A and B are shown apart, each in its own frame.
Chain A
Amino acid sequence: MHIFIYGGFMLLLLMHALDKYITVALWKDYYSTINPFMFLRDLFGALVIVGVLIAIYRRFILKVPRLFSNAMDIYTIIIVAIIMLSGIFLEATKMVAYSDYKRMVNEYSGLSDPGELKSLEAYWVKEFGVVSPNLKEPFDEALLQKGKELHQSSCESCHARPQWAFAGYGTAKIIAPIGLGIDRARLPRVLWFIHILACFAGLAYLPFSKMFHIFASSISLLANGVIGKGKLAPANRATLQAMELDACTHCGTCSLRCSVIMAFEEIANRNIFPSEKIASIKALASGKELGAQELKHIQEGVYLCSNCYRCTVVCPAGINLQDLWFSVRETLLQKGYPEFLVLSPLSFYRGLMKEETGPKDYEKPLIQAREAIAAQCDLMKRKDKVLPLTSTERKLQSGLNLSAQAKTFSVCFGCQTCTTVCPVVGNYENPQEALGLLPHQIMHAAGLGIRDLAFGSNMLWDCLTCYQCQEQCPQGVHVTDVLYELKNLAVKRMREKTLQPVERK
């Protein structure tokens, strides 16, 4: 698709739009109406149209999963399509236009004899698709023969047979029945304006659209090609990243190959997809005022990444997306909105990169997430923790049903084997102080439906998921799975409280 549009368009630009400067300089006998130029122009135009059709098919008919189309993609397709279609219609209407024919006869043929004019006109009506108000097919052989001779002497050197301009000629044949009307309405003139204006509109839109990638992608590819693996100075890195944002064509390759795509099925946040993340980051980088909700969504999107580098590897514009995510992630995390994803192993990568962030900046989001959760757990804040007998929350128990394994908490008989074998518990001299409830107590809390104590305990977030507890439980309680599901419920609750869905423009 890309090669059709790019190849066709560039050749048209060089050979057709800039023909006076380039084509004429290369070929002295250039005329736009003789071969091979006439044929090639139509061929290139047809290539672009095929490319545009493929693009439309992919985006709107085939609906490739996870390929998103935003306004910019649609505008771009429309502009290219208008340029191409107006060009072909312009060519077609010029072919049928009688006034154009007349003008050329007056200017170039030097014929004045009515008989001669008639025979030439007949020949052009038959062979060149001109729609004449005076003459209609069929013509007799002699008249055509005469016309042919006149044509050979005065026109042929500049006019190849129109069939070579297959796209325009085909269209001309289709519109021939209304050919006279077209000419009277001076449609060729109108189309010429549309064609030229569309070209200028495209040119004006260029710096603000994905088409700017023509320049930015090549520069970014070049820059990333010469930059070694070593560290970049922060200022250079920022410059490079700003350039890379422009280099993105929103082609969607990254989103097709993204590792965490399935998250979108459950978490309705388009920023999970690299191609959409980058669109949001563009908005962010352009200094647009984004609301807290929007920022939180972008933050969640950039954090929900397994850091597999695949987007960076497959990006045809050579953008170092991984690096970009890292910078944006760290910047957003410092804005102070708690991000609960930091409490998942997705943070492993952040831990490996901790030398890139200062120690304070590094700890901040981790503390913030835990504090935000604890703040929602009123019971944890109470010193005496005397519980009313009626505080059981049935919702917690019924909520532990994701895998049907977590329900096993109900058979816990409190033997404390899980707590005894837990390496995390074993790491502390005073585990309750550091961890809050211990594993067997969390099972008990789940049984009683005391959500706050379960969610607010550090034990939940400090669980290694090493499955020692579950393996050794004499009652077959799936301790680790229960802890997993409690974490899910806690995050879900926090997400519902802090994150409202944002309508995407």
Chain B
Amino acid sequence: MMEFALFLGCTIPARLNQYESSSRAVLEKLGVRLIDIREFNCCGYPLRNIDFKVFLLSSARNLALAEKKNLNVMALCKCCYGSLKKADYLLKENASLKEEVNTTLEKEGLKYEGRIEVKHLLPVLHKDIGLEAIKGKMATTFKGVKIATHYGCHALRPSQVVGFDDPVAPSLFDQLVEATGAESMEWAMKLECCGAPLWGINDRLSMDLTLKKLNDGKKSGADYVCAACPYCHIQFDKVQKMILSQRNVNHPLPSILYTQLLGLTMGIDRKVLGLEMNEIPIGGIEEKLKTEAELAAERELAQQKETKEETESNKA
């Protein structure tokens, strides 16, 4: 059985419970065991602007806690993921830095050797579990749903550190979205920033960037933008709602978390997925799930096709 120490970070438990509950539900279906380490602290991301050492120590402490239990870490947040990866990379690369960090950690009886791996939810789903296994757990799929898939900066870049996917032409998330039967749209600003890092620092700039990105998503014909990071999602959801009221823009592009999208195809209860908890409603997507009758018709069609092919190949 696959096991991970679940790294929730600060934002998810405080402001995005539906991401946690939907992730737990989906991963349970897929047979992944999640272990909670109560002592985990902030990954250090918000403090990188202020003090590099604080960031590094914060991340390193988390890594050391997981290593003590011999567990690989799975992050749901891409900023947490990027920070933990960065710290892991630096500690492996720079021996003197590692020694310095370990001297501080030792005060609590902790030490980081670099024996564990840090992963994000999406590569775990794609590589460790695999698309076929995921499809095997689906009760139904979507029909005619168009998704603007959003990768998120701190997962993709710097590619040398994170190794998430091809930084220029990634496809991992698109494949995961398409596995649910939805269509992952091509859009020019797919790999751009969501704008969240500047929310609260320079709101005007942050709003400009978010709107530009969402407008591009809408232009591609997408019905929803899909993220797998609390910062990106909150930016596309709660902050988009604030932007709409402030800038008199109509027609939002609602944001759905990937675990909500996947959870719906697995027949997980909508309450567990927290569909109502999104600020911009996404309830309409449930109507796009194929019904029992449609699924049966599809199966029949596939069977017919198979037998037809068989007879044809027999003839040949």
Give chain A's interface residues, CB within 8 Å of chain B: 65, 257-263, 265-267, 304, 306-310, 340-352, 354-355, 366, 402-405, 423-424, 427, 461-462, 464-468, 470-471, 478, 480, 484-485, 487-488, 491-492
Contacts and interface: CB of A to CB of B under 8 A. Distances in A.
A342 B239 CA distance: 18
B234 to A, nearest CB: 7
A486 B58 CA distance: 20
A348 B200 contact: yes
Given A259-B10, A262-B41, A403 B52 contact: yes
A260 B57 contact: no
B288 to A, nearest CB: 30
Nearest to B56: A403
A267 B200 contact: no
A259 B52 contact: no
B201 interface: yes
A19 to B, nearest CB: 44
Contacts of A345: 45-46, 49, 79, 196-197, 200-201
Interface residues of B, number: 59
Contacts of B42: 259-260, 262, 306, 308
A366 B204 CA distance: 12
B167 to A, nearest CB: 6
A263 B97 contact: no
Interface stretch (B152-160, B247-255, B302-310): B152-160
A263 B54 contact: yes
Contacts of A485: 52
Contacts of B200: 342, 345-352, 354
A267 B57 CA distance: 12
A485 B50 CA distance: 9
A342 B201 contact: yes
A265 B157 contact: no
A343 B90 contact: no
B50 A341 contact: yes
Given A351-B199, A461-B202, A65 B157 contact: no
A239 B242 CA distance: 30
B44 A262 contact: yes
B205 A402 contact: no
Given A266-B53, A403-B97, A467-B158, A348 B10 contact: no
Overall SS of chain B's interface: helix
B61 A262 contact: yes
B51 A471 contact: no
Given A265-B57, A265-B104, A267-B51, A464 B46 contact: no
Contacts of A258: 41
Contacts of A257: 38
Interface in B92-116: 94, 97, 104, 107-108
Interface string B21-56: 000000000000000001001101111111111101
B300 interface: no
Given A266-B53, A349-B200, A352-B199, 13 more contacts: A65-B107, A266-B51, A306-B10, A308-B9, A308-B11, A340-B50, A344-B48, A345-B49, A352-B239, A354-B203, A402-B53, A464-B195, A471-B157
B202 A262 contact: no
Given A345-B200, A465-B197, A466-B157, A487 B209 contact: no
Main SS of the interface on chain A?
Answer: helix
17 contacts: A260-B58, A261-B41, A262-B57, A266-B51, A267-B54, A340-B50, A342-B201, A343-B49, A345-B200, A346-B200, A405-B90, A424-B209, A461-B202, A462-B202, A465-B154, A466-B197, A488-B52
Contact of A484 (B10, B49, B209): B49
Given A265-B104, A308-B13, A423 B41 contact: no
B49 A487 contact: yes
Nearest to A458: B202
A482 to B, nearest CB: 12
A462 B212 CA distance: 17
Contacts of A343: 49, 201
Contacts of A470: 157-158
A492 B231 CA distance: 27
A143 B227 CA distance: 93
Contacts of B57: 262, 265-266
Interface in B152-180: 153-154, 156-159, 167
A262 B202 CA distance: 27
Contacts of B242: 354-355
B50 A487 contact: yes
B192 interface: yes
B208 interface: yes
A461 to B, nearest CB: 7
A258 B193 CA distance: 29
Contact of A423 (B44, B47, B154, B192): B192
Contact of B203 (A342, A351, A487, A492): A351
B50 A488 contact: yes
Interface in B77-92: 79, 90
B51 A348 contact: no
